[in-house]
Amino acid sequence: MKKTLFLILSFSLIATSFAASNYSYIPKKAAETYIPVAANKQISLMEFSTMKVKDYEKLSGKNLNFFQKIAFKSNQKQLRKSIAADGTIKNDEMIKSASASDLTTGFHLGGFALGLFLGPIGVLIAYLIHGDASVDKNRIKWSWIGFAVAFLLWLLIL
């Protein structure tokens, strides 16, 4: 009897918890999603979709050959198809890549793994790897956290 009562209460709790979730989808705007064009230069997807080849060459500092210009125009056309009339991005893969590309905040798996598995040598490696300053700062922070977790695990084992 106790098991049956527990089972009924569990199912009722699970059923009501689904109704209590407050999830809402906010579509990403193309004008608010930025991509890197050159070192320390970013433009929005909306700007990129309407940009001319000459403007891109001037902004990036690179001269494109004939085939690169064709690829640029092709990518722009595909990007314009992925942007809805109201300015939101309708391509799911593009939304995932745009939200996953921000490595300046949040969990950094590489830094954590360096600190966890290699200890102080991993932290040193995190200091030696150079790239974007904000990404480097996040990697170093997570390597220290990984090292601290490894140290705590080592203390618990001993």
User: Angle at the Cα of 26 (from 24 to 32), degrees rounded to 5?
Assistant: 160
- Model confidence at 91, pLDDT cuts 50, 70, 90, reads confident
pLDDT digits (tens, 9 = 90+) for 5-24: 777 877 776 766 655 555 55
Query: What are residue 29's phi and psi, to 5 degrees?
Result: -90, 140
CB 30 within 8 A of CB 91: no
pLDDT higher than threshold 70 for residue 120? yes
pLDDT digits (tens, 9 = 90+) for 127-143: 998 877 778 888 999 99
Percent of the chain with pLDDT over 70: 85
Cβ neighbour number for residue 4 with a 10 Å cutoff: 8
How far apart CA 24 and CA 74 sit, in angstroms, is 34
Residue listed under structure tokens 């500092």: 61
How far apart CA 102 and CA 36 sit, in angstroms, is 11
pLDDT at 31: 83
- Model confidence at 51, pLDDT cuts 50, 70, 90, reads very high
